[in-house]
Amino acid sequence: MILAGELPPGTQLSEEALALRCEVSRTPVRDALRRLESDLLIRRSESQRSFVADWSDDDIEDAFELRAMLEAQAARRAATRIAPAQVEALRHHNRLIGAAIAGERPDIPAFLDNNRAFHEIILTAAGSSRLASLLTRLIEQPVVWRTAQNYDRENLQRSHHEHEELIAAFARGDAAWAASIMTGHIRRAFHAYLDAYTAQRTAAE
């Protein structure tokens, strides 16, 4: 609901209200709130009340910067550990991405799905549960989720192409190459987001 924008930043989230809304008791709601808090989607006041977190421009830049660092590290590790079958799986998902963006109107949900699967394979191949745990926390954030919504055709195709390059780096086992492509991949996503976001905000004024 937060990601979908149903709950604007600053909204107070009372356990009881959410429990009613979701038709469960407070106990599982509590668990979920704690998790969302550790994902920084929720901020808690000093008196432990929960509110939907708001994101400043700095927060957004920060999230992308960290994600770029960690995804690059994942790519670096994956390059020397990835199995041939996994490389094949990457090719498969990137073919589906290619198909999703080929038509007149790109199929954004399909793009998102395969993009997520693509990055997940790399994270798995990196073989670091710690890294996976840290990254999972970053990619489930509103900024990242909304990015692709704003991608234009050119950005979608560049993304697809960068994936191809990543596959090539993995096929050669070149860790430095993979890491640098990944850094650029995420940073470009950041700027695409910024462009779309500031354009949107300027239009609103």
Partner DNA sequence: CCTGGACTATTTGTATACAATAAGCTGCAC
Partner DNA sequence: GTGCAGCTTATTGTATACAAATAGTCCAGG
> Token digits for 78?
């994956």
Q: Which is nearer to a second copy, 26 or 92 (CB)?
A: 26
Burial 30-61 (b: 16+ CB within 10 A, else e): eeebeebeebbbbeeeeeeebebbeeeeeebe
> Nearest CA to 122 among 182, 162, 180?
182
Site string for a second copy, 66-105 (x = CB under 8 A): x--xx--x--------------------------------
> Nearest CA to 106 among 146, 147, 144, 154?
154
* Alpha carbon distance 154, 151 (integer Å): 8
Q: Determine if 180 is a binding residue for a second copy (CB under 8 A).
A: no
Site string for a second copy, 24-63 (x = CB under 8 A): ---x--xx--xx--x-x------------------x--xx
Q: Determine if 7 is a binding residue for a second copy (CB under 8 A).
A: no
Under the rule (CB under 8 A), what is the footprint of a second copy?
A: 27, 30-31, 34-35, 38, 40, 59, 62-63, 65-66, 69-70, 73, 128-131, 133-134, 137-138
Under the rule (CB under 7 A), what is the footprint of DNA?
A: 12-17, 24-28, 30-31, 45-50
